[in-house]
Amino acid sequence: METARTVPAATVVNLRDLGGIALGRDRRVRQGALFRSGQLSELDPARDRAVAALGIRTVVDLRTADERQWAPDRLPDRARLFVADVLGDQPGVAPARLRSLLADPAEAERVLGGGRAEELFAETYRKMVLSPGAAAAYRAFLETAADPGARPLIFHCTAGKDRTGWAAAVLLMILGASRATVLADFLAVNPVVRRAFAPYVQKFLDGGGDPVVAAAVVEVRPRYLQAALDAVDERWGGLDAYVRDGLRLPDAALRRLREGLVVGG
């Protein structure tokens, strides 16, 4: 099953083009328009030719204020920054603390040990659906992505897997992707994220950290996405009502997304 194509960037983790993902009825996502990634704090615009070649106009940062302060984005040349803080009203949840948790095995055990890690991540995905602050951030992201003048666009969080993963899932479903396609793309980040976080994980394990906790922190799992989809179905009865009544995305933005990002063949 087609998933987002990896862009071989030298200084950006987990950079992938959503273009080419199948949407059914012989349609696909337009290539070169929407990219997802991890944070851009290590981007070197001068030497990272793969990123420079994308012609990025907009970077949408889904991280909290603390994350942005600790590791501010470095933008591609002539790109503008747009902040859409998904977890701003609950910055202490696990996806906003990935590196700090891996740096402190004792705190990770307190917060995520005893089988709590996967449960807490799944609950965070529910919050990304049900929280008014998250809804406002995802609406802002989708409205920005719908603007032809804002594309090509990169959207990202820290690792590019949780907040970014749900952003990509919603966008793909709006464009017509099946839930099976969305799940395949959601899980496809795992090998890259494992490699990117391998030094942090090894230091965590060397300090006595639980490998079960480490895996739950650096991976995405089907249960996480399913928790978000279940929240959509339970609260709104499906995607259309979630987009209309939960995200309150204007019909005009929906039309622009589909007209600008869906291509035949």
ω into 148 cis (within 30 of 0): no
C-alpha span between 194 and 200 (Å, rounded): 10
Spell out the alpha helix ranges (H) of the chain.
Answer: 49-52, 65-70, 98-102, 105-112, 116-130, 132-145, 163-175, 179-187, 190-206, 211-218, 222-236, 239-241, 251-261
Residue-wise pLDDT tens digits, 97-111: 667 778 888 888 888
Side chain identity at residue 88, one-letter code? G
Side chain identity at residue 123, one-letter code? E
pLDDT given at position 146: 98
96 vs 79, more confident: 79
Spell out the alpha helix ranges (H) of 131-189.
Answer: 132-145, 163-175, 179-187
CATH at 67: 3.90.190.10
Domain total of the chain: 1
136 vs 105, more confident: 136
Residue-wise pLDDT tens digits, 15-49: 999 999 999 888 999 999 999 999 999 999 889 99
- Please tell me the number of Cα atoms within 13 Å of 234 on its side-chain side: 9
pLDDT given at position 103: 81
Mean pLDDT of the chain: 92
Domain boundaries, position 101: 5-264
Residue-wise pLDDT tens digits, 138-183: 999 999 999 999 999 999 999 999 999 999 999 999 999 999 999 9
Count CB atoms within 10 A of the CB of residue 255: 11
pLDDT given at position 222: 97
Q: Is the pLDDT of residue 246 over 90?
A: yes
- What integer is the mean pLDDT of 247-265? 95
pLDDT given at position 98: 67
pLDDT given at position 62: 97
pLDDT given at position 25: 81
- Three-state DSSP class for 72? coil
Q: Is the pLDDT of residue 81 over 90?
A: yes
- Three-state DSSP class for 36? strand
Q: Is the pLDDT of residue 93 over 90?
A: no
Q: Kindly give the pairing relationship between strand 34-37 and strand 16-17.
A: antiparallel
